[in-house]
Amino acid sequence: MTSRIPFYFLITLLLIAGTALSLYRHDVYGVPWTPGEERALWELEARIEFDAIGDPVKVSMAAPETQQGFTQIDESTSSPGYGVALIDTNKGRRAEWSIREATGKQILYYKTQMLVDEQASYNTVPPKGDTPAVSLDNPQQTAADALLAQARSLSSDNTTLTRELIKQFNDRNNQNSALLLNSLSREKAIINLLSLEKIHARIVGGLQLEDGRRRQSITSMVEVWDGGKWELFNLQTGQEGKPDNILLWNQQGHSLLDVVGGRNSTISFSIIAQDITPQQATREKVQAEDLLNFSIHSLPVEEQAMFKTIMLIPIGALVVVFLRIIIGLKTSGTFMPVLIAVAFVQTQLVTGIIGFLLIVGTGLIIRSYLSKLNLLLVARISAVIITVIMIISVFTVVAFKIGLVEGLSITFFPMIILSWTIERMSILWEEEGAKEVLIQGGGSLLTAVLVYLAMTNPLVRHLTFNFIGIQLIVLAVILMLGNYTGYRLSELRRFKPLVED
């Protein structure tokens, strides 16, 4: 008989190592055990991509700085082979990269850390000189005069005038605003109209802060000088003031990105939030290169946002193992519910459940027809995969046409897993009947919902992302559950007569 001592030693070692790593992260680096600390740190990364054409390259990007509600505590760049400088210019603060010669695809990174700080003040720099002259042709000038006349009659100062102009540009039935929007962007048109009124205004870029976002773009907003400070306006809603979840990236109203010596340039932003102690936030730099600081925070922010979801998968696996081994719940596939739950995280629960039922239900109907064709397994699975893609496409288009924006997220469902699920359920229907399909399908959906609830728990998300030692503890618990060979809870009812006898 094989000794179990090495197995128990392994489990003990995993528990000790996981606990020790977690305690080390908490005590040495000050990472809190629970989310919701008074101070939050936003880590933002700008990713610049362009094609170099073999000439000298100079890249200039607007860089953020301390502003209302945020204090900048650190910034860095990643650009092998490039010279880098962070400078203050008449166009505001900018990051500049340069190289004598470059060819092909180029990727540059800029990372900054902004601490949420209610005491931080916005750097109010009054405008210099007169407002720039604006040249409009006769039809545009007539439309501009009409818009200004109406806004002027309904306003009392620069702020209210701007608000009324935004309302007119948001009115789809306003022919005057539509005329100007034929040749100008919304923000540029508003800036021009304010210039005609001798009001200083500028276009700034706002970045909406949302944890775990990748490939996000800048939203154009307008700032208006009211005589004492700059007032920010949301062009979509007309809302005045700076929301707490908006960070101004290019604050001085100049270009966001300039590339000389390259083409097809793009810039995107990745955002992630960390819960840290105030003491840690004020340090200039955490010892990120320490071997025992097992953290993924040193990765680019885009990858961190991806790992924030990946690190939750072991929690889903733990839930599935517990439900199958201890509870005895039947599911279609072992870890299919985990992947469905990950899709639920992206689509939201109600939308995800409806989408899952529609796709699987429709797929089963089509699969029943394919079974009559006596196709080989490979061809049948391929046909089911194509069918699932078509079903998702049709449902997404229909949802968009009827105005259900939530339905657009149905594309996050894992198509291959759904195809195999439909295939397995179809075979199960033929061999065991509809009852067994409902039992396993319902068990899979219930398991996916429970996994979703575990994955979306704020405490679970905080612990799995900030403490890699938790993964070792989860592994140890799964190994212990895998060693269980007793009765499942669902079997107690089955064997209840034996106990009574």
The pLDDT tens digits of the residues spanning 101-123 come to: 989 999 999 999 888 876 666 65
Summarised one tens digit per residue, pLDDT across range 383-418 is: 878 887 887 788 777 777 776 655 555 555 666 777
Mean pLDDT of 204-223: 86
Report the chain's mean pLDDT, rounded to a whole number: 80
Query: Measuring CA to CA, how many Å separate 363 from each of 141, 355, 413, 444?
Result: 58, 12, 14, 16
Look at residues 163, 184, 199 and tell me which one is the last residue of a structural domain.
199
Give the integer Cα–Cα distance in Å for 286 and 293: 10
Looking at the structure, tell me whether residues 305 and 444 fall in a common domain: yes
Q: Is residue 81 part of a domain?
A: yes
User: What pLDDT does residue 48 have?
Assistant: 93
Please give the backbone phi and psi of residue 270, each rounded to the nearest 5 degrees, phi first.
-120, 145
Looking at the structure, tell me whether residues 261 and 310 fall in a common domain: no
What is the percentage of the chain residues whose pLDDT exceeds 70?
85
What is the percentage of the chain residues whose pLDDT exceeds 90?
11
Look at residues 199, 226, 244 and tell me which one is the last residue of a structural domain.
199
Looking at the structure, tell me whether residues 431 and 364 fall in a common domain: yes
Please give the backbone phi and psi of residue 38, each rounded to the nearest 5 degrees, phi first.
-65, -25
Residue 238 reports pLDDT greater than 90: no
Looking at the structure, tell me whether residues 189 and 308 fall in a common domain: no
Helix, strand, coil percent content, the chain, rounded in steps of 5:
50, 20, 30
Looking at the structure, tell me whether residues 339 and 477 fall in a common domain: yes
CB 198 within 8 A of CB 178: no
Looking at the structure, tell me whether residues 388 and 309 fall in a common domain: yes
Give the integer Cα–Cα distance in Å for 37 and 22: 18
The number of folded domains in the chain is: 3
Give the integer Cα–Cα distance in Å for 384 and 167: 50
Q: Which of 73, 466, 461 has the alpha carbon at shortest distance from 293?
A: 466
Give the integer Cα–Cα distance in Å for 41 and 56: 37
Q: How would DSSP label each residue in 11-53?
A: HHHHHHHHHHHHHHHHHHH---SSS--S-EEEEEEEEEEEEEE
Sheet containing 262-275: order of strands: 70-78, 103-116, 40-53, 262-275
Residue 285 reports pLDDT greater than 60: no
User: What pLDDT does residue 56 have?
Assistant: 92
Looking at the structure, tell me whether residues 104 and 146 fall in a common domain: no
Looking at the structure, tell me whether residues 97 and 145 fall in a common domain: no
Phi-psi region of 261 (alpha: psi -120 to 50; beta: other; left: phi over 0): left
User: Is pLDDT larger for residue 429 or for residue 148?
Assistant: 148
Looking at the structure, tell me whether residues 43 and 117 fall in a common domain: yes
User: Is pLDDT larger for residue 436 or for residue 124?
Assistant: 436
**Confidence label for 286 from pLDDT (cuts 50, 70 and 90):** very low
Q: Is residue 214 part of a domain?
A: no
Residue 373's domain spans which residues? 301-496
Q: Is residue 450 part of a domain?
A: yes
Look at residues 156, 175, 199 and tell me which one is the last residue of a structural domain.
199
User: Is pLDDT larger for residue 253 or for residue 51?
Assistant: 51
> 176-204 as b/e, with b when 16 or more CB fall inside 10 Å?
bbebbeeebebbebbbbbbbbeebbbbbb
Strand segments (E) across 283-337:
none
User: What pLDDT does residue 255 have?
Assistant: 83
Looking at the structure, tell me whether residues 476 and 358 fall in a common domain: yes
User: What pLDDT does residue 277 have?
Assistant: 58
User: What pLDDT does residue 287 have?
Assistant: 42
The number of angstroms, rounded, from the C-alpha of 305 to the middle of its chain's C-alpha atoms is 7
Looking at the structure, tell me whether residues 163 and 307 fall in a common domain: no
Summarised one tens digit per residue, pLDDT across range 153-189 is: 888 888 888 888 988 888 888 888 888 888 888 888 8
Q: Is residue 2 part of a domain?
A: no
Residue 292 reports pLDDT greater than 70: no
Query: Measuring CA to CA, how many Å separate 466 from each of 31, 117, 175, 311, 365?
Result: 7, 22, 54, 10, 45
Phi-psi region of 102 (alpha: psi -120 to 50; beta: other; left: phi over 0): beta
User: What pLDDT does residue 497 have?
Assistant: 66
CATH at 73: 2.60.40.2250
Fill in the amino acid letter for 60: S
User: What pLDDT does residue 69 have?
Assistant: 81
**Selection from 29-43, 48-62, 382-396 with the highest mean pLDDT:** 48-62
User: Is pLDDT larger for residue 280 or for residue 395?
Assistant: 395
Looking at the structure, tell me whether residues 177 and 67 fall in a common domain: no
Q: Is residue 12 part of a domain?
A: no
Both tokens assigned to 45: 């990364």
> Any long-range contacts for 366-373 (C-beta under 8 Å, 24+ apart)?
367/422, 367/423, 367/426, 368/426, 368/429, 371/426, 371/430
Q: Is residue 211 part of a domain?
A: no
Mean pLDDT of 411-439: 74
Mean pLDDT of 62-88: 86
Q: Is residue 130 part of a domain?
A: no
User: What pLDDT does residue 123 have?
Assistant: 58
Q: Is residue 185 part of a domain?
A: yes
Please give the backbone phi and psi of residue 271, each rounded to the nearest 5 degrees, phi first.
-135, 140
**Confidence label for 84 from pLDDT (cuts 50, 70 and 90):** very high
Give the integer Cα–Cα distance in Å for 336 and 161: 56
